[in-house]
Amino acid sequence: MKIALIGQPNCGKSTIFNSAAGYRVATANFPGTTVQLAWSPVRLNGSVVQLVDVPGIYSLTSTNAAESAAKKFLLNESVDLIINVLDASLLSRSLELTLELRELGIPMVVCLNMMDEAARKGAAVSSERLAALLGLPVMETVASRGVGIRELFAQVLRQLDSPPAPSEFLAWHRDIESEVADMQLLLETDARRQKLPSRFLAVKLLENDEDVAQDVGPKIARAALQLREQLEQTHGRSAEWVIMSERHDRAMRLSEESTTLSRPRPNFRAALDNLLTHPLWGYVFLILILVLFFWAVFGLGSLIERAVDGRIALLSAAVLTHFGQNTLARALAQSLLDGFQGGAGIVLPYLLPFLFGLAILEDVGYLPRVAYLMDGLLHRIGLHGTSMLPIVLGYGCSVPACMATRILPSRRDRFIASVLATLVPCSARSTVIFALVAFYLGPMWALGIFCFNALVVIISGWVLARMWPEISPGMVLEVPRYQWPTFNVLTRKVWLRLREFVVLSWPLLIAGSLVLGLATYWNLDHYVNAAFSPLTRLLGLPIVLGTTLIFGVLRKELALIMLTEALGTNAVAHVLTPVQIVVFTVFITFYIPCLATLVALVKEIGKKMTALAAAYTFALATAMGLAARFILPLLLSR
């Protein structure tokens, strides 16, 4: 049994999915947060059903990769029931998709989400009236606060096996209806049986839908072309637009019939938006917000690190006294403890506030405003504002950032945006920057590295855009309302992302520490270091850091932990010069994306492009490391 959550982008599908299935997919306040299907078994009244979270679609005509994946799923997999989620405050537009879905003939429950937002806008939507007009059950919810979810799923159970009731109200103009009927008749008499209802197919053929047109025989295709031409002649516009307007018109009338409007409540959000998208103050606030973000993350992080690290060091010293000098047992215990300490004492203190801050920025809905503000600048380098979303998400983790490029319509934009997103320091690399550079050299240095990175990203974007000149479709991006993030959702989202570190990279880190500990015990690390010595020598780094570079490809945080491990001390500043710290950090920040990102990249842009991207980042990292090595001393000596 498959139940699919379908609706327009940013209407709260994933929030409903999470409240039924536990927090499993990340939610955020911008269109296109979900770019792939998510499945979860859910227990409904004793029986187990598969609940599917589908990427948002504006209509069944797809304009990007995420949307066409959603459409393919809907048309090819036999879905047993559709929960059509609507943003009640954007009723008319949302209903256009409902009308399209209705023709699939699949049992359907309409979920009017964000009822509180509609009320704030002064729109009182009557779900009874809408249900009567649509011939479908309509449920009201406020998913962000969990209101009405139980009732929604109770209705879902009742509605299984009952397809949409016919509705007089939704009939189109007579001449269009008769063309659809002609097409339907042809399809029904055709030898090839179709899985989908004939009315749906007939309408889609008249709309000249590429996906549907592929599946029909030449006879049907010819007939469809004829009928389309007929429509075009009588209406003076292409058939696609005739049908689209018809749907638009019905949706408009539906929303007018079921809504009573009153004065909207005054809200401060319009005033806030005026300030944050202001031609001057918008940029001032953008910089202020980013500086505040880094300051808060570093402040909190170093506070936690100081509190935790010392205690763990004491603890491990206490444990180590039980082992004799220079024994294998001691080496093992030491590396185990180091791995544990690296995670708890160095990575977690910075990762936690970082993820929390990013979650707040995402949920408030500030990111699309950043895209809006940056579009003009990005145009100078040959990209457009929508590319900014994946790039900003790259500050969290490169993997979802690469996947988020699916909301971009052109292949070329996707390639450039995903390469740039991997160049941006992700939370793991930010941890390296905070824990090494900010901790030992001061927060201004860290900020400097972030700014330098941004500059390199911009220049890379500029170069890449020129290597592949192409006219890309302009930016069209819905800018959502601001939303007050709820603490509950924030903590669960942070945990979702933190869990990845705790269950995946921390064990890896401890294992890596163990491997390095053993290798040192048996003096094997010399070979690895020797193999990497051309690179480390070139960058002016101690030879012992060669091993850390391998671990850096596995996970970027590992490089940091392995650094302390390889140097044999936590007091990095005693062993490395400030320039060496900066060179190491810069190199780690830019060089080959981590393993998980490489896998994601192969999936998004293909093997060849990934190899190209890896080579590019490696060359870039070496160049930047060299630049830091030779230019920094000049700056420092002045």
Whether the CB-CB separation of 7 and 13 falls below 8 Å is answered with: yes
The sign one gets for the Cα dihedral 436, 438, 440, 444 is: positive
User: Of the candidates 381, 389, 403, 566, which one interacts with another protein according to CB under 8 A?
Assistant: 381
> For another protein, how many residues bind (rule: CB under 8 A)?
52
Residue 392 C-beta: closest distance to another protein, Å: 15
Residue 275 C-beta: closest distance to another protein, Å: 11
Whether the CB-CB separation of 472 and 412 falls below 8 Å is answered with: yes
Whether the CB-CB separation of 44 and 494 falls below 8 Å is answered with: no
Subset of residues 291 to 310 that bind another protein, contact rule: CB under 8 A: none
The reply to whether 454 sits near another protein by the rule CB under 8 A is: no
- End-to-end, the C-alpha distance of the chain in Å comes to 71
CB atoms near residue 462 (< 10 Å): 14
Write the interaction track for another protein spanning residues 251-280; mark x where CB under 8 A is met and - where it is not: --------------------------xxxx
The reply to whether 127 sits near another protein by the rule CB under 8 A is: no
The sign one gets for the Cα dihedral 427, 428, 433, 436 is: positive
Region near another protein per CB under 8 A, out of 53-61, 165-173, 285-293, 491-499: 53-61
How far from the centroid of its chain's Cα atoms is residue 114's Cα? 22
Region near another protein per CB under 8 A, out of 221-229, 320-328, 383-391, 497-505: 383-391
Subset of residues 321 to 360 that bind another protein, contact rule: CB under 8 A: none
Write the interaction track for another protein spanning residues 539-568; mark x where CB under 8 A is met and - where it is not: ------------------------------
Quick one: DSSP state of residue 90? Answer: G
Tell me whether residue 56 or residue 343 sits nearer to another protein (CB atom): 56
Residue 139 C-beta: closest distance to another protein, Å: 21
Q: Which residues contact 539 (CB under 8 A, 6 or more apart)?
A: 583, 584, 587, 622, 625, 626, 629
Tokens of 186: 């042809």
Residue 382 C-beta: closest distance to another protein, Å: 3
User: Of the candidates 173, 192, 222, 379, which one interacts with another protein according to CB under 8 A?
Assistant: 379
Tokens of 626: 């060299």
Region near another protein per CB under 8 A, out of 55-63, 307-315, 395-403, 502-510: 55-63
Tokens of 95: 């209903």
Subset of residues 167 to 226 that bind another protein, contact rule: CB under 8 A: none
Tell me whether residue 188 or residue 249 sits nearer to another protein (CB atom): 249
The reply to whether 84 sits near another protein by the rule CB under 8 A is: no
User: Of the candidates 93, 129, 253, 526, which one interacts with another protein according to CB under 8 A?
Assistant: 93
Region near another protein per CB under 8 A, out of 142-150, 222-230, 459-467, 546-554: 459-467
The reply to whether 380 sits near another protein by the rule CB under 8 A is: yes
Whether the CB-CB separation of 200 and 60 falls below 8 Å is answered with: no
CA distances from 156 to 51, 82, 91 (A): 11, 9, 21
CA distances from 38 to 3, 70, 496 (A): 12, 11, 14
Residue 192 C-beta: closest distance to another protein, Å: 28
**Could you tell me how many residues make up the chain?**
638
Distance CA 501, CA 424 (A): 19
The reply to whether 61 sits near another protein by the rule CB under 8 A is: yes
CA distances from 550 to 429, 554, 555, 569, 593 (A): 15, 7, 9, 20, 12
The reply to whether 453 sits near another protein by the rule CB under 8 A is: no
Quick one: DSSP state of residue 83? Answer: E
Whether the CB-CB separation of 135 and 165 falls below 8 Å is answered with: yes
Q: Which residues contact 408 (CB under 8 A, 6 or more apart)?
A: 64, 386, 387, 390, 414, 417
Write the interaction track for another protein spanning residues 400-419; mark x where CB under 8 A is met and - where it is not: ---------x---x------
User: Of the candidates 55, 357, 385, 394, which one interacts with another protein according to CB under 8 A?
Assistant: 385
User: Of the candidates 143, 367, 371, 404, which one interacts with another protein according to CB under 8 A?
Assistant: 371
Tokens 């599946």 locate to 215
User: Of the candidates 40, 63, 483, 570, which one interacts with another protein according to CB under 8 A?
Assistant: 63
Residue 230 C-beta: closest distance to another protein, Å: 22
Residue 372 C-beta: closest distance to another protein, Å: 5
Residue 89 C-beta: closest distance to another protein, Å: 6
Q: Tell which residue, 200, 252, 207, 197, has the closest CA to residue 231.
A: 207
Strand order in the sheet with 81-87: 38-44, 47-53, 2-7, 81-87, 108-113, 138-140
The reply to whether 384 sits near another protein by the rule CB under 8 A is: yes
Tell me whether residue 423 or residue 516 sits nearer to another protein (CB atom): 423
User: Of the candidates 1, 24, 58, 448, which one interacts with another protein according to CB under 8 A?
Assistant: 58
Write the interaction track for another protein spanning residues 460-499; mark x where CB under 8 A is met and - where it is not: --x--xxxxxxxxxxxxxxxxx------------------
Tell me whether residue 429 or residue 481 sits nearer to another protein (CB atom): 481
The reply to whether 59 sits near another protein by the rule CB under 8 A is: yes
Tell me whether residue 277 or residue 483 sits nearer to another protein (CB atom): 277
Residue 36 C-beta: closest distance to another protein, Å: 21
Question: What does the angle CA 128 – CA 130 – CA 135 come to, to the nearest 5 degrees?
Answer: 95
Distance CA 81, CA 391 (A): 36
Using CB under 8 A, list all residues that contact another protein: 58-59, 61, 63, 89-90, 92-93, 121, 241, 244-245, 248, 277-280, 282, 368, 371-373, 375-377, 379-385, 409, 413, 462, 465-481
